[in-house]
Chain A
Amino acid sequence: MASLGSDEWRAVCDKFSNAQNLTDVESRKDPENEPFRSKYKARELLREIYSSLKCFAAGDGEEERDGGEEDVFGQGVSGDSPAGLRAAKLGAVEYYLGVNHVDTEELSAGREHLMNGTKLLERCRVSSDNVSLFIHVRNQLGILWAGLDETETAQGFLETAESIYQRYMKEDGTPPTDMTEYFTTEEKLLTHQERTKRFELAYTHTMYYLAQVYKNLGQNERAATYCHSTLQRQLKLNQFSPMEWALNAATLSQYYITKGHYMEGRHCLSAATVISGLAGEVPSEAAAQESETESERREQLRQKRADIARCWIKYCLNLLQDAKKLLEDNIGELDTDRQEELKGARRREEEEEEKGRKNALLFGSEDTFDSIASLEEKVSCLIPLDFTAARAVFLVGQNYVTQAKDYFQMDGFVTDHIEILQDHSALFRALAFFEEDLERRCKMHKRRVDMLEPICNDLNTQYYLMIRRQLMFELAESYSEMMDLKLTLANRQADTQSLDSHTIKKFNHLCSASTKFFQMFLDSLCSPEGKFPEHLEEEVLRPALVARFRVARLHNRLISSTPSDQLDNLNKSLESYKYVVQYCEAHPEAAVVVETELELSKEMVGLLPLKINRLKARMATNN
């Protein structure tokens, strides 16, 4: 090869750095009507570089070889031989040309350049001189093919990049040459540290693109793993902005908890909390009033930390709810046999594993690892099996409720604030399940009512229709639960017939309150003219029929002092049961949605008239 004279080489290097500058810096200042001006200039320079390189290479009489898919670590020209280096340089120019064309929306030309790049490299073995280029080219091809909806092709390129990286690190691992270094003069070569950093970053991008490819292919679990790896690598390489990283980790925790992986979820959340702390102190209110930037920063930090707190709430809530599901019997009470069984299993597990961590991916650098671990210790990732354990989870959750509410206040963040209250209520509901003392359990439900009822009444009906409906339903159920508890307590002392008037009054009050909220829910479905819809929309079908059914049951349960009141209540009850039955007759698709309720309603429609007639007969004889 006729080698380039040092002046000529210097000219090539200058062109290259000029092209880089045009692409990365100048192009951002291009006018709207000529958005790619600098990129076109850069393209010209790259073409010139290419022909200079080609021209000198041509003198060497190089052979064209058909390169099939070869093992890039096996045969072929050694990557660090002069021929290998030459191929790498040409390949790099093809790479930059490819990216340039893609940036300027000339996809097929871009693809051709990138494919030329891989062809040039096919003849070479992977070495520290070209491995970075190997990966960069494949990353770009991955992006390109994914853009053309050829996800599998994209996947192929990215997975190749992944395996090249892994094998290189195993077999060589020295800090590889960065592509920019092909076109720099000796004195500008990078440090080992800088080389490593750039190489690792390229591979981080491979992980990140694979995460997206797997998501697009519907392989969620795999995608989540790659998101996790991406986050982990960002942290390790110190390539992240703390708040953004923390939010990503917190969001990932939500993926894990929806899958029931609480250990991983907790780890993500602890890391999110610790890393969000690296974003610095929240500016004081006074500082915020002084400057707009500080005010914006204050807003951002507070909001994002409150968001992370909300992810923690969901963690605690799901843990408690899963525990409840695991432990409840068929009438929704604590199954003590099952509890003992699970406790036994838990003890055995703990002995076997000695609390050893499963080989989960862990976050953290040397500085942050301990803080993350100590935060993790503050809440269990095991499903609570008794009241004490449940209460510990509840308290952590409640603490995050307070934190989240501090930012998401009612005035200004109505929806968010209420969502947090709903979670708080749900936390109480789940905890109440573990409470054996029925009086105290009743008080927990009272707390739910107290926090939700005033808001439900105050909310604008029109703008918060959806939220109000949820609140109405939840309130109706809370009252209903309190009513059941009161009755159970009273029955322990006496049978229903001999309940004292105070208890009856209390019971009837709870019963009516529950009815009121179910009815409110049903009324919310009416048109502005007050007409109940003849056809219930899919998303309200089950709730509406269930509400009707519950109203029927509640009317039936009211304890009446006079027969005429009782008659009235029974008639109302019958009417509602009939509604459920008739609706399902007219709309067969509804029957599947409320199977159990429908069956019971049919039964009651058969039985209630008898009861009503008996009552009527008794009233007639008494008169």
Chain B
Amino acid sequence: SQLAASGDSDSIKVFVRVRPLTQGTGLTTDGDQSLCLTVTSPNTIRLLSKPEPRTFTYDHVADMDTSQDSVFSSVAKNIVESCMNGYNGTIFAYGQTGSGKTFTMLGPSELDNFTDELRGVIPRSFEYLFFLINREVERSAQSKSFLCKCSFIEIYNEQIYDLLDTASASLFLRENIKKGVFVEGAVEKFVNSAAGAYQVLSMGWRNRRVASTSMNRESSRSHAVFTMTLESKESINDVVNIRMSQLNLVDLAGSERQKDTHTEGSRLKEASSINRSLMCLGQVIMALVDVSNGKNRHICYRDSKLTFLLRDSLGGNAKTYIIANVHPGSKCFGETLSTLQFAQRAKLIKNKAVINEDTQGNVR
């Protein structure tokens, strides 16, 4: 709680994890024994690029032998604690397909077995959260109570689907003056234990896979957002104090699929000859306008659904960790480079300026 209260200025932290080389998994990277990177210190990684190797610095870099428990301790522990104190917290997993995102977040496969040493960040977070809840309830001699709700949605092609209710059509993002941004009509399940939360998660996760076969959607092409809303109620001398916070666990689409402007660098957008319109001209213009700060402007292009939903997690009063998973094999060089670059840029994401320039209060 000390950490949460201190004004630590980096609202976004980045953790890079290098997975071990694959063996017999059927991936194309199997049997590739040459490495394209080395971990040079607990927060630097050297990519063996040509002509010069490049060094990247992050909040934490975990080498192949890092245990699941130590990932949890560095990434999720503080975030879960912050949630108990009323902060919103978000953990993103990012990386190319096969780089170990699911392993890091869930564990080796969808285990229902809670004691497994290899269980991932998510089950451990649930355990820790409910451990803290129970401790608080006990300590407060029942004057404090907690309410936990979970929802699980998937964003595919800028459409939102409810993983807890596969029968529903695509949903809309709305905003409410009291509730903030929310997915209209998304199912919310009450849970009162880590096991309960995990059950909701695995149910949704299964739906995600079902959806990928029946509708020809690949899971790695969608973003999945599991949200746990925590409400605490404390009564002291008839005064009821209510606090709300959210814990978002986000599995981003495989980075090799992401074709948004933020990851593409200097590639030109093409206009195929059959295409009547030059779809992306707007993005080019948008970039021109964005550079010229200070003046009042409106950009007609909406945020992506994911950034809009998690707007509160990108700066402001939220704690955010990005876990960037990379594969060390030299065949993955290109993807690894782009993941590392993305992770570095992520540090620069901040919510827009707090106060408009012209109301900064000049002396009169």
Residues of A within 8 A of B (CB): 24, 32, 142-143, 146-147, 149, 151, 154, 201-202, 204-205, 208-209, 211-213, 215-216, 220, 223-224, 227, 230-231, 234, 239-241, 244-245, 247-248, 250-252, 254-255, 257-259, 304, 307-308, 310-311, 313-314, 317-318, 321, 331-332, 410-415, 422-423, 426, 455, 458-460, 462-466, 469-470, 473-474, 477, 484, 527-529, 531, 533-540, 542-543, 546-547, 549-550, 596-597, 600
> Across the interface, do B5 and A258 meet the contact criterion of CB distance under 8 Å?
no
Chain A contacts for B274, CB-based, 8 A: 24
Q: For the complex, is B360 an interface residue (Cβ under 8 Å from A)? A: yes
Out of B87, B288, B351, B362, which one reaches A220, CB within 8 Å?
A: B288
Q: For the complex, is B235 an interface residue (Cβ under 8 Å from A)? A: no
Q: How large is the interface on B (under 10, 10 to 19, 20 to 34, 35 or more residues)?
A: 35 or more
Chain A contacts for B34, CB-based, 8 A: none
> C-beta contact mask, B173-195 vs A, less than 8 Å → 1, else 0?
01111111100000000000000
Q: Which residue of A lies closest to B353 (CB)?
A: A539
Shortest CB–CB separation between residue B282 and chain A, in angstroms?
5
Q: Which residue of A lies closest to B88 (CB)?
A: A462
Q: Which residue of A lies closest to B308 (CB)?
A: A415
> Across the interface, do A255 and B284 meet the contact criterion of CB distance under 8 Å?
no
Chain B contacts for A597, CB-based, 8 A: 363
> Across the interface, do B180 and A460 meet the contact criterion of CB distance under 8 Å?
yes
> Across the interface, do A460 and B298 meet the contact criterion of CB distance under 8 Å?
no
> Across the interface, do B282 and A251 meet the contact criterion of CB distance under 8 Å?
yes
Q: Which residue of B lies closest to A530 (CB)?
A: B5
Shortest CB–CB separation between residue A569 and chain B, in angstroms?
20
Q: For the complex, is B348 an interface residue (Cβ under 8 Å from A)? A: no
User: CA of A462 to CA of B5 in the docked complex: distance in angstroms?
Assistant: 15
Chain A interface, DSSP helix/strand/loop, else mixed:
helix
Chain A contacts for B240, CB-based, 8 A: none
Out of A227, A415, A463, A542, which one reaches B285, CB within 8 Å?
A: A227
- Give 6 new A-B contacts, CB below 8 A, not counting A224-B288, A248-B285: A147-B266, A215-B287, A223-B288, A239-B277, A258-B297, A259-B292
Name the interface residues of B74-109: CB closer than 8 Å to any CB of A. Answer: 85-88
> Across the interface, do B5 and A224 meet the contact criterion of CB distance under 8 Å?
no
Out of B286, B291, B354, which one reaches A470, CB within 8 Å?
A: B354
Chain B contacts for A459, CB-based, 8 A: 177
User: CA of A469 to CA of B288 in the docked complex: distance in angstroms?
Assistant: 28
> Across the interface, do A247 and B300 meet the contact criterion of CB distance under 8 Å?
yes
Chain A contacts for B352, CB-based, 8 A: 466
Q: Which residue of B lies closest to A538 (CB)?
A: B9
With A234-B277, A241-B276, A597-B363 as known contacts, state yes or no: A252 contacts B285, CB within 8 Å.
Answer: yes
User: CA of A458 to CA of B177 in the docked complex: distance in angstroms?
Assistant: 7
Out of B178, B267, B278, which one reaches A230, CB within 8 Å?
A: B278
Name the interface residues of B239-289: CB closer than 8 Å to any CB of A. Answer: 243-245, 265-271, 273-274, 276-279, 281-282, 284-289
With A234-B277, A251-B289, A465-B317 as known contacts, state yes or no: A473 contacts B359, CB within 8 Å.
Answer: yes
> Across the interface, do B85 and A528 meet the contact criterion of CB distance under 8 Å?
yes
With A146-B266, A209-B268, A311-B300 as known contacts, state yes or no: A244 contacts B279, CB within 8 Å.
Answer: yes
